[in-house]
Amino acid sequence: YACSGIKNDYYFGYELIETGKDHRKVRIADPAKALIDFFYHHPRYNTEDEILQLRLNGPVLSESLREEKLMQYLSRFQNRKLEKRVATVLKIYDHA
């Protein structure tokens, strides 16, 4: 199953979570995958200034991102421009 706008090859990195009384399951992306997906779908954020304007929560990123998993997910996209944007995020938030 894939959502519109996401290639089947990129539909990974989520967990099925049961919600509500009806026990419906929803897919929740891992924090690393959510970050990659955001920058994949919003390529206009390229520079440090543009990324800083997003006002990402640095402490939450530091706590929730697992850099090894982030790099593993990122390698599956094989997209240099996406890699550069993610590297800029890591630089800004002291993960580099």
CA 80, CA 96: separation in Å to the nearest integer? 17
Q: Please list the helix, strand and coil fractions of the chain in percent, rounded to the nearest 5, in that order.
A: 50, 10, 35
For 66-95, the pLDDT digits (tens) are 999 999 999 999 999 999 999 999 999 886
| Residues 5-40: tens digit of each pLDDT | 667 788 899 999 998 888 899 989 999 999 999 999
Tokens of 30: 């891992």
Question: Rounded to two decimals, what is the model's pTM?
Answer: 0.83
Contact present, 91 and 52 (Cβ < 8 Å): no
